[in-house]
Structure 1
């Protein structure tokens, strides 16, 4: 018997006593009719020889594999991890196997990774990444190549993100960050907060910019303004939130601007960093300074005080993105829901 690693389709065909073409059709589920007797002999031969199909060879023959490629910004970020969990669940329901790759939070890597993904000939691709304002030419070209090769492609995009939405065949799933942040601002004003700062993340990232712009617009609708010095850029991470909040606290301690009553961090992770910085200075989060985030990441549900935030159905977003890529999801937009908790109680 040939070694398992060396078993070929020709070996299976010879053992079953059929032609190579018949063996291929029997194993690959071809629509061309094969006698049931031959199908059974081929499957018995394949099992006896421990034959494993060459997935890449099948991909060449069919044009695509039965895989879904998931490209995320940072799999260690609970935001992307939750989206990935939903995408994997939906892919499994569709009979697809998921391959995951991460840009590591570097938007410049996206086009390169998509080129690698194209070589895998996936049936579908989901893009859940952080893109920069004004970027997207190379990404759009790479996505267009995937579509042309027969892959269904969906992309999670923010209100301001046009990097791939103009590519024919791409099914966007728009996350309405602008309106979500504006609604949060209004809810915080109604709670009684009158002065604000914003921990803005990276201002060149589309999602961060949309959330900042939406929050500022929401305050403006109530006659309030955030001073430019109170909009603090930083990394889109827990440590970024800690550093930005520390900068505000340092400025207030040095006789600068008075510490605002409430701070909006553009992600829950950044809000967690802000809470740590506030507590480190002997202040009480939610009492001395309110803190609000965005996303409602389940992994952070036990943070004390509980975070006010904009809830996004992250796992459902991942599942819907898969269905969009496969052409079975019609609705292409996601709204956030404002949730007020102890971190902004007065």
Structure 2
């Protein structure tokens, strides 16, 4: 491996026979014009000396770098992975390099991460994390204030149960309509003929899980259906959490005709538990999820769900942080700073 170059910009300028200012403009893409022959000599000298620009020093001079910081709850979760893919695409279009950090849903960890990120002088920051009830963005208010004071644009994903109040100065929220999507799903399942339900509700302290449960309950209530407390089973917001909750439901006796899992991953765990008990998913017990994660497209039976444009959510979050979001989704007219879900009924809830 070649040794790291210790060449400075002054060395490059001397070898190219130009001033330090000219060398800087040629390498940094300044809007001030540099003669083509001078630019060519500077780049040739930089290659010969293996000169690497000091990005942090440039950040101090310009106020920000050409980087975007993406802070997610869990990059291993396909929900966040899809959002990250969209964010990276949009950042690339804007000429930015993405750094990704996972918080594990820990507000303390998020504050610590943002303190480090602030020192890197990013152009923009996207917060796509799982938040707990009562915490919202206020938990990281001071850390975000440092970022915005340093010139970074900041956007955050919030749910429609807290979207009206979670915003803090300098943060551009993108509201995911979790509650509304779950209500629409409940209505669609009732219209499909289902009358008895249970809910694999995930972690009751998570804002996203709470919003989806609340919406589903409201959707059923609009059709005169009310669930007993025993119909709500709480567990981890994961595939294994869905499996464990479904096992408890089946152990309790005759299962309902349809089960709503608040994420697709939990729904996949529920399907496995149903099969393990010798039942047929979609025939003996219907299962619906939420998110429409692409990597689960080949699950059998095909999963009824609420489709969220996850990659577009990531892309729009970047554009909102940069101040370039025009309110459209995949080129079509959007709804301001909101993202709505679309109910998709498949074989897993067929009657």
Q: TM-score, normalised by structure 2?
A: 0.92
Deviates more, 1:158-167 or 1:276-285: 158-167
The corresponding residue for 1:80 is 80
Query: Quick check: 1:322 aligned with 2:327?
Result: no
Query: Structure 1: which 5+ runs fail to align?
Result: 253-257
The corresponding residue for 2:289 is 293
Query: Quick check: 1:273 aligned with 2:269?
Result: yes
The corresponding residue for 1:228 is 229
Deviates more, 1:153-162 or 1:303-312: 153-162
Given candidates 296, 299, 302, the residue that maps to 2:298 is: 302
Which SS does the other structure have where 1:161 is aligned? coil
Check the 8 A contact 1:268/1:296 in 2, yes or no: yes
Change beyond 3 A, Cα 1:107–1:264: farther
In the TM superposition, residue 65 of structure 1 has moved relative to its aligned partner by 0.7
Tell me, in whole angstroms, the C-alpha distance in 2 between the residues paired with 1:30 and 1:120. 21
After the TM superposition, list the runs of 4 or more consecutive aligned residues in structure 1 that deviate by more than 6 angstroms.
none
The corresponding residue for 1:335 is 340
In the TM superposition, residue 86 of structure 1 has moved relative to its aligned partner by 0.9
Check the 8 A contact 1:238/1:272 in 2, yes or no: yes
Q: What are the superposed Cα offsets for residues 141-169 of structure 1, whole Å, 9 maximum, x if unpaired?
A: 21122111111111111112359842222
Deviates more, 1:317-326 or 1:301-310: 317-326
Q: TM-score, normalised by structure 1?
A: 0.94
The corresponding residue for 2:103 is 103
The corresponding residue for 1:255 is none
In the TM superposition, residue 104 of structure 1 has moved relative to its aligned partner by 2.6
Check the 8 A contact 2:305/2:345 in 1, yes or no: yes
| Alignment RMSD (CA, Å) | 1.8
Query: Structure 2: which 5+ runs fail to align?
Result: 328-336
The corresponding residue for 1:283 is 279
In the TM superposition, residue 21 of structure 1 has moved relative to its aligned partner by 3.0
In the TM superposition, residue 139 of structure 1 has moved relative to its aligned partner by 1.1
Check the 8 A contact 2:105/2:131 in 1, yes or no: no
The corresponding residue for 2:153 is 152
Which SS does the other structure have where 1:140 is aligned? helix
Given candidates 252, 258, 263, the residue that maps to 1:262 is: 258
Deviates more, 1:263-272 or 1:121-130: 121-130
Check the 8 A contact 2:160/2:211 in 1, yes or no: yes
Q: How many residues align?
A: 340
In the TM superposition, residue 229 of structure 1 has moved relative to its aligned partner by 1.4
Q: What are the superposed Cα offsets for residues 34-92 of structure 1, whole Å, 9 maximum, x if unpaired?
A: 45544333222212212111111111111111111111111111111111111111111
